[in-house]
Structure 1
Amino acid sequence: MAERAQYEELMRQFSAFGAVKRELGRIMPSDCPSGSAAVLTLLGRFGDMRMSRLAELLAVDMSVTSRHVAHLAERGWIDRSPDPTDKRSRIVHLTPKGRAQLELLSERTTQLLADCLSDWSDEEVAQLTRLMARLRASFDDSRVAVPPRLPPPALELEATTRTPANT
């Protein structure tokens, strides 16, 4: 197991990774925030799906997913249709306009990564990809394994002894 100092350095690197995410966000079209881009990416990768599955893949609450889906539907990038097996549920799918938007996002992010990592070898990029996938999988596994948060322990009071009163 790694030393505490290694985990502390890893946390500093996670914080610094925020700059990478911000830079990726800067190249996105103004009408396509990161949450919307994530929905488009998932639909492009996995195809049509129920809203509940989309929320699960995004690892966010259903209300957050609904806002992202409404935003995308307003722009004509996705359609929602009733689930034939459960009319209360909706199936979400990309439209041709949404596929074009996804292609634009992919081109922009791919070009930025290619520019910023131009001095990396193919193996280094592949290694980073493998390690990030493994990190994500470890956190997915831990969501199941970690028990819910427990309340903080109660402060223990010192035991007091009563002595009988003098009579």
Structure 2
Amino acid sequence: MAGRAQYEELARQLSAIGAVKRDLARILPPECPGGSAAVLTLVGRHGDMRMSKLAELLAVDMSVTSRHVAHVAERGWIERSPDPVDKRSRILRLTDAGRAQLDELSRRITELLAERLGDWPDDDIGRLIQLMARLRESFGDCRSAPRLAHSAPTSEPSAQPVADRTTRTPA
């Protein structure tokens, strides 16, 4: 098992990931900020869905989700159709323009990664992918507050702290 010093160094390295995320955000087109890119990515990956499902995947409040969806809908990248099962709900679907924007985002990100990691051996990139996937899996869906070893256990699930979903961004 890793020692405290290793976990402390890991924490420092993970906080430095913010620089990588900021660099990735800089290459987004001005008309497609991070929240919009996340909406396009998730609808592209998971297919048509309700707003409530998107809010769950984004791990943000429904009002935040609505603002992001309104932004992409105004640009014609997504359409909102009445849910045939529940007319009060909307189904979100990528449009052809949305697919084109998603392809452009993917191209930009891939180019930046290729530029920054171009001198890395293929095996190192493969290992990084593997380790990051494993790290993400170890944290689960990241929608609940972590239980720390020093926290007192409680018998009531409602007493567990709830993470503030209004400020999170997708990983």
CA distance in 2, matches of 1:138, 1:44: 25
User: How large is the RMSD of aligned CA atoms in angstroms?
Assistant: 1.9
Q: Specify the SS of the correspondent of 1:86.
A: coil
TM-score (norm. length: structure 2): 0.81
Q: Specify the SS of the correspondent of 1:119.
A: coil
* Segment drifting more, 119-128 vs 66-75: 119-128
Query: Shift in Å at residue 144 of structure 1?
Result: 8.0
Q: Specify the SS of the correspondent of 1:124.
A: helix
Query: Shift in Å at residue 133 of structure 1?
Result: 1.7
Superposed, which structure 2 residues align to 1:128-143 within 5 Å?
A: 128-140=128-140, 143=144
Q: Specify the SS of the correspondent of 2:79.
A: strand
2:167 corresponds in structure 1 to: none
Q: Which runs of 5+ in 2 are unaligned?
A: 148-156, 163-171
2:161 corresponds in structure 1 to: 149
1:159 corresponds in structure 2 to: none
TM-score (norm. length: structure 1): 0.83
2:9 corresponds in structure 1 to: 9
Q: Which runs of 5+ in 1 are unaligned?
A: 151-167
Instruction: Give the number of the structure whose alpha-carbon radius of gyration is greater.
Output: 1
1:155 corresponds in structure 2 to: none
CA distance in 1, matches of 2:33, 2:145: 29
2:126 corresponds in structure 1 to: 126
Query: Shift in Å at residue 64 of structure 1?
Result: 1.3
Q: Which has the higher contact order (CA 8 A, sep 6+)?
A: 2
Query: Shift in Å at residue 2 of structure 1?
Result: 1.8
Give the counterpart letter for 1:31 in structure 2.
Answer: E
1:100 corresponds in structure 2 to: 100
1:17-62 deviation digits (Å, cap 9, x = unpaired):
1111111111110111111111111111111111111111112121
Give the counterpart letter for 1:13 in structure 2.
Answer: Q
1:70 corresponds in structure 2 to: 70
1:80 corresponds in structure 2 to: 80
Query: Shift in Å at residue 99 of structure 1?
Result: 0.7
CA distance in 1, matches of 2:103, 2:41: 10
Give the counterpart letter for 1:112 in structure 2.
Answer: L
Matched, 1:46 2:46: yes
Query: Shift in Å at residue 141 of structure 1?
Result: 5.7
Q: Specify the SS of the correspondent of 1:88.
A: coil
Query: Shift in Å at residue 149 of structure 1?
Result: 3.2
2:60 corresponds in structure 1 to: 60
Query: Shift in Å at residue 124 of structure 1?
Result: 1.5
